[in-house]
């Protein structure tokens, strides 16, 4: 949204916050502060609206009020409205090439480049060298500084352009100026092309019903665009040779699979359910979200059953052959903790 608004010629970038700010200022004064904060999901005690969203231009004619003259409310409301200045001749990257050529290099970036050249010592390859880490860190820092410098130049140029553009137009007077040619909408996605056509090329003599129909159509196209997903680029899909894939398949077929019931269990698995052959494999190896949930399950379903059993055995598949018998419940819990790695609630 920011890039598209700048390319459309807006003086300042339009962010989602701009729409929230406009809605908040529309509600301010027409609704109570509590209702306004509720709509904006602001905590009243932090005064978020007054610190970040309120219109900087006060809607009060102080001069006429001081002079005890009638206030010009309509004119003041128009001048204090949060407006946007747009010049279709402007774009995000509008700095001419001759300006870039005239720009002196940044001294800080040049100093970093000299330091990197000194560490490289005239060598192109730096892998395995003594200063490899420092050189790579300097390279990343130089790239970051250059991006920041270019961004600052673009912002300053746009600021000067919008500041001086009205003066340039007035100085030109009635002289013939370069005719502005609207950019051609050339988009590959049909829905995006239709949406751009609706937003950019609207007839001037639309009736309210026709305008409403266009709004509905634009909303439907936006919903369709939000549901589309960009496929993966072919050059980013890793393709392995067929022989390597076949070799991997052969190795996987010959190698034995993992033990579904290992002696050392996960601490979120139930030590009783894993040996219950009446359950499915997924139920026997199920892992709870937290050990505390597994503790509740064990105490609720198995602890009382084990306490009233005549013979207390460990039904783990690895312990069934040994037929280990325990004297009491704490004895069983000690075995589960020391052998299976699951600590139960005392």
Q: Tell me: the pLDDT tens digits for 316-342? A: 888 887 777 888 888 888 888 888 888
0.95 cut: is pTM over it? no
Model pLDDT, residue 115: 92
Q: SS3 helix, strand, coil % of the chain, rounded to 5?
A: 55, 5, 40
Count Cβ atoms below 10 Å from residue 270 Cβ, excluding itself.
23
Q: What angle do CA 85, 86, 91 make, to 5 degrees?
A: 130
Asked if 53 and 21 touch (Cβ cutoff 8 Å), the reply is yes
Give the C-alpha separation, 343 to 346, whole Å: 9
Q: Is the pLDDT of residue 344 over 60?
A: yes
User: Which of the two residues, 26 and 77, has the higher pLDDT score?
Assistant: 26
Give the C-alpha separation, 150 to 321, whole Å: 73
Q: Tell me: the pLDDT tens digits for 261-279? A: 888 889 889 988 888 888 8
Asked if 134 and 119 touch (Cβ cutoff 8 Å), the reply is yes
Q: How far is CA 312 from the centre of its chain?
A: 54
Q: What is the mean pLDDT of residues 21-49?
A: 87
Give the C-alpha separation, 322 to 275, whole Å: 14
Give the C-alpha separation, 182 to 280, whole Å: 67
Model pLDDT, residue 83: 56
The number of C-alpha atoms within 13 Å of 9 and in the hemisphere containing its C-beta is 11
Give the C-alpha separation, 280 to 231, whole Å: 39
Q: What is the mean pLDDT of residues 309-322?
A: 83
Asked if 116 and 132 touch (Cβ cutoff 8 Å), the reply is no
Q: What are phi and psi of 295, to 5 degrees?
A: -60, -45
Q: Tell me: the pLDDT tens digits for 214-236? A: 989 988 988 888 887 665 555 54
Model pLDDT, residue 191: 86
Percentage of the chain with pLDDT > 90?
14
Burial class (CB in 10 A: 0-12, 13-18, 19+), 340: buried
Give the C-alpha separation, 87 to 10, whole Å: 6
């Amino acid at each position: 949204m920011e890039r598209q608004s700048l390319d459309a010629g807006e003086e300042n970038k339009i962010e989602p916050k701009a729409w929230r700010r406009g809605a908040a200022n529309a509600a301010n004064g027409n609704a109570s502060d509590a209702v306004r904060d509720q709509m904006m999901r602001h905590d009243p005690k932090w005064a978020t609206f007054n610190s970040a969203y309120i219109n900087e231009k006060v809607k009060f004619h102080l001069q006429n009020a001081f002079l005890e003259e009638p206030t010009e409310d309509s004119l003041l409301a128009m001048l204090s409205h949060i407006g946007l200045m747009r010049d279709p001749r402007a774009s995000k990257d509008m700095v001419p090439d001759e300006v870039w050529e005239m720009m002196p290099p940044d001294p800080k970036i040049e100093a970093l480049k000299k330091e990197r050249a000194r560490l490289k010592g005239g060598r192109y390859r730096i892998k395995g060298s003594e200063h490899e880490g420092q050189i790579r860190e300097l390279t990343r820092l130089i790239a970051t500084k250059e991006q920041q410098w270019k961004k600052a130049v673009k912002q300053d140029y746009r600021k000067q352009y919008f500041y001086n553009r009205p003066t340039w137009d007035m100085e030109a007077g009635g002289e013939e100026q370069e005719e502005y040619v609207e950019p051609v909408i050339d988009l590959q996605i049909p829905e995006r092309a239709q949406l751009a056509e609706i937003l950019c090329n609207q007839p001037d003599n639309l009736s309210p019903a026709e305008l409403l129909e266009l709004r509905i159509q634009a909303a439907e196209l936006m919903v369709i665009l939000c549901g589309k997903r960009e496929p993966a680029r072919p050059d980013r899909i890793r393709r392995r040779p067929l022989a390597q894939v076949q070799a991997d398949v052969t190795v996987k077929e010959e190698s034995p699979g993992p033990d579904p019931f290992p002696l050392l269990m996960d601490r979120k698995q139930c030590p009783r359910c894993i040996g219950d052959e009446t359950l499915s494999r997924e139920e026997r190896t199920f892992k709870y979200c937290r050990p505390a949930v597994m503790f509740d399950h064990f105490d609720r379903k198995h602890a009382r059953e084990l306490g009233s059993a005549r013979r207390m055995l460990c039904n783990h598949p690895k312990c069934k052959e040994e037929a280990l018998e325990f004297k009491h419940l704490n004895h069983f819990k000690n075995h589960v903790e020391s052998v299976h790695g699951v600590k139960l609630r005392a």
